[in-house]
């Protein structure tokens, strides 16, 4: 499964843009989330800690998901490169994205704190 977009850049304290992505299979087709129990975002931070939270499915057939992080989260997570994956949980299995490429959240130092 793949995750598109590839990269998002924010400043510490930003809450926009939020995360919006299309989950795709390895052939590039939208992943059908109609029977998924839930879809989760997993963010691995530069210090190795992982944040996991539930994504909002905004288009089950089109594989579209969103997540609204907060300014408090992006400030707490801190500047650096954070790797993003998504996990779709189905009744019989789970699928992880991306399987073949990274999606990164780049958080830059808050303006005035550089």
pLDDT given at position 5: 62
Taking the domains of the chain in order of start, what are their residue ranges? Answer: 2-108
Average pLDDT of every residue of the chain: 87
Cis omega before residue 98 (within 30°)?
Answer: yes
Distance (Å, whole) CA 55 – CA 46: 22
Fold of 2-108: Immunoglobulin-like (2.60.40)
Cis omega before residue 13 (within 30°)?
Answer: no
Percent of the chain with pLDDT over 90: 55
| Nearest residue to 57 via CA among 32, 74, 78, 83 | 32
Q: pLDDT tens digit string along 17-67?
A: 888 888 887 778 888 999 999 999 999 999 999 999 999 999 999 999 999
Sign of torsion, CA 8 13 16 18?
Answer: positive
Q: Flag whether the pTM goes above 0.85.
A: no
């Amino acid at each position: 499964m793949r995750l598109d977009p590839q990269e998002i850049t924010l400043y510490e304290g930003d809450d926009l843009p939020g995360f919006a992505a299309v989950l795709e299979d390895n052939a590039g087709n939208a992943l059908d989330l109609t029977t998924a129990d839930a879809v989760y975002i997993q963010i691995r931070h530069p210090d190795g800690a992982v944040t996991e939270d539930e994504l909002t499915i905004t288009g089950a057939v089109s594989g579209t998901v969103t997540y609204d992080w907060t300014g408090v989260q992006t400030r707490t997570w801190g500047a650096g490169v954070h790797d993003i994956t998504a996990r779709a949980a189905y009744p019989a299995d789970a699928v992880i994205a991306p399987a073949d490429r990274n999606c990164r959240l780049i958080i830059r130092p808050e303006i005035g704190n550089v």
